[in-house]
Structure 1
Amino acid sequence: MRIALAQTAPSVAPEGPPQLEKPHSTSPFPSIDQNLIDVVGFVQRAAEQGAEVVVFPEYFLQGIVDAGRQYLSLPSKHLTTYLQSLAKQYKVCLVGSIVHGTREAGTPGAVDLPSVSPFEHIPASSSSPASSKNGITPAQLEWAKYLEKHPVSAEENSHPVIYNTAFFINESGEVVGEYVKKNLWHPEREYLTPGKDEHKVFDTKWGKAGMMICWDMSHPAHAQDLAKQGADIIFAPTFWYATDSEPTIHKYEHDPQYETKMVSSLCFARCLETETVWIMCNAGGDPLEGFMGGSGVWVPLRGQVAACGVGAQLEVVDIDLKVLKDARETYKVREDASRRLAT
């Protein structure tokens, strides 16, 4: 299995409704446009290196989506469609997360979202220029007019209905696995809706796989749920800042790399506890902005076999899943768990 960690530096839109410098003449989703262009470049480079699965961070397309930026969730289905086409074109599997939003019945604009994609102008090759006339396409114009006519209301901001959903798209462009984040980081609880469905594994050509997202990694019981279902691989798209323990951490003397080492320790612990290949891709970027990167792949009996630094980076690694058979015979974590269940 050849895995590409696409540690991108997602652009984050400003809070509030989109502010167009020249109404109806520029993109209504400029940050998503830029992130999509970056994604295409990463996928193209990964495919050139023979990658079979390209794993992106949490929030890699929309940036942080909170109550003040929930308008970014409205075109989410078009993002999924775009990625399906990209996976099919490059014959690679794609993993990441997308925030999907709904507008409750009775909300102005709830049932008349534009059906056209505002991202159709983004080329599927980094060598091709974006296609637009006079700075905006007809689809972008339709979305710009929609957002102008139906801005996200103060009431919607107070009670947003948005879900952070991890996905696995196979090389044929099919969505074969989805998971809605259940364990929300504390600030996220103010605007994201947690998932309620149980964790489920899905089939890939390499074995059974499951997904968790970021703060889920701090809840070992959920990883064990996937292990009980026979997971061989667990993907964990992540958006973890180096500043997430602030300001409390400054009350104590601590390792300057505390946050990075904590995440790495969680990944290795979950890898051994579940006897799976654990693949975590975090956002990278400028450390002065709080980014810490640290994406990696952890394998029983091997340890961490791929690691990224702080900034944006593409890292490709080969994994032979035969190691899992030896790990399970050596550690017998699953065997012991099965015996406890049987009694």
Structure 2
Amino acid sequence: MPPIHKVAVIQLHCKPLQLESNHQRACAFIRSAATQGCELAVLPEYHLTNWVPKDPKFLPACDQWQKYLSSYKSLAKELKICIVPGTIVERHKDADKNEDKLLNVAYFINNDGEIIGKYVKKNLWLPEREHLTSSGRDVHEVFDTPLGKVGMLICWDLAFPEAFRELIAQGAKIIIIPTFWTLNDCIPEGLARNPSAEALFLDSTLTARTYENTCAIIFANGGGPPGRGYAGLSQVVVPLVGPLVRLGSAAEGIAVVDLDLQILEDAERNYQVRADLARHDWHYDYRHSRKEKL
């Protein structure tokens, strides 16, 4: 029988540029998850800094990434828990262009405090493109973890089925998605039609992705006080059932759930998505908007 894994999704209020405060609250939630027997705890995107790239303090804050990554590694080893510390924005020197570049990075830290997975955000949301460097054409990787084969995506990657297909084709059963997605990530015309348009996007797309890939999704979004546009909705989602647990409000909090991987086997037996993808004559073996060179 496939295993059952106890996991925690943490919906943190990512206060702008309050790195130490955000970090300490994140650690407290992770400790709470460990005391409840969790094997994995997942934090949101931008959980240390929030997304304020034009603030003059933002770039210096991004220079501290190693300090906080090291702290999470030590915490994972101490508590014997796997941690995906949301994303951490890192400032690096681009030697080719002789300028700085910012990377939005998710890490998978195992329960021995070792980094066994790293993913740099590929699909940048429109306001990010002025500031961040995408991982471009780098291949999406799948990592062998204590919970099995895991893939990682970040926020706007959710909108691209191709990203999931690339991970599923490599055998990923669990997709972890740290996110900082707000209700205000919508044009005024969209909000006029539906003030909860982005919540509808998240709930419907997360469930759809689990069905069309027979996978589980661990989705950790930023939260915060009501009335400020935070979406929340952090959840663990599987096919056949939908959300196993879902933080319905935007308030900061933690949700712990038993993730039964037998659900994925049942869904695959019903839909046989992975079986089709593995066929030698599978008819969708192409890449969008690319022509073969003659």
For the pair 1:91 / 2:95, whether they are aligned, the reply is no
Structure 1 segment 47-66 matched on structure 2, within 5 A: 47-64=34-51, 66=53
Counterpart pick for 1:208 among 149, 152, 163: 149
> C-alpha separation between the residues in 1 aligned to 2:50 and 2:168?
30
For the pair 1:242 / 2:183, whether they are aligned, the reply is yes
Aligned partner of 2:10 in structure 1 is: 6
> C-alpha separation between the residues in 2 aligned to 1:104 and 1:205?
34
User: CA distance change for structure 1 residues 34 and 320 in 2, over 3 Å: closer, same or farther?
Assistant: same
Identity %: 39
When normalised by structure 2's length, the TM-score is 0.88
Tell me the SS of whatever aligns to 1:318: strand
For the pair 1:70 / 2:59, whether they are aligned, the reply is yes
Structure 1: stretches of 5+ with no match in the other structure: 14-30, 111-155
Could you tell me whether the CA contact under 8 Å between 1:12 and 1:62 is conserved in 2? yes
Structure 1 segment 45-194 matched on structure 2, within 5 A: 45-64=32-51, 66-68=53-55, 69-95=58-84, 96-104=86-94, 160-194=100-134
> C-alpha separation between the residues in 2 aligned to 1:340 and 1:268?
28
Aligned partner of 1:319 in structure 2 is: 259
Tell me the SS of whatever aligns to 1:270: helix
Q: How many residues align?
A: 274
Could you tell me whether the CA contact under 8 Å between 2:276 and 2:282 is conserved in 1? no
When normalised by structure 1's length, the TM-score is 0.76
Structure 2: stretches of 5+ with no match in the other structure: 284-294
Could you tell me whether the CA contact under 8 Å between 1:224 and 1:273 is conserved in 2? no
> C-alpha separation between the residues in 2 aligned to 1:296 and 1:335?
27
> C-alpha separation between the residues in 2 aligned to 1:340 and 1:293?
41
1:78-115 deviation line (CA, Å, top 9, x unaligned): 111111001111111111211111145699xx9xxxxx
Q: Runs of at least 4 residues of structure 1 off by over 3 A?
A: 103-107, 340-343
1:27-67 deviation line (CA, Å, top 9, x unaligned): xxxx1111111111101111111111001000112222525
Could you tell me whether the CA contact under 8 Å between 2:44 and 2:222 is conserved in 1? yes
The one-letter code of the counterpart of 2:146 is K
> C-alpha separation between the residues in 2 aligned to 1:234 and 1:53?
13
Structure 1 segment 214-229 matched on structure 2, within 5 A: 214-229=155-170
The one-letter code of the counterpart of 1:5 is V
Structure with more strand by fraction: 2
Aligned partner of 1:294 in structure 2 is: 233
Greater radius of gyration (CA):
1
**RMSD of aligned residue pairs (Cα, Å):** 1.9
The one-letter code of the counterpart of 2:60 is Y
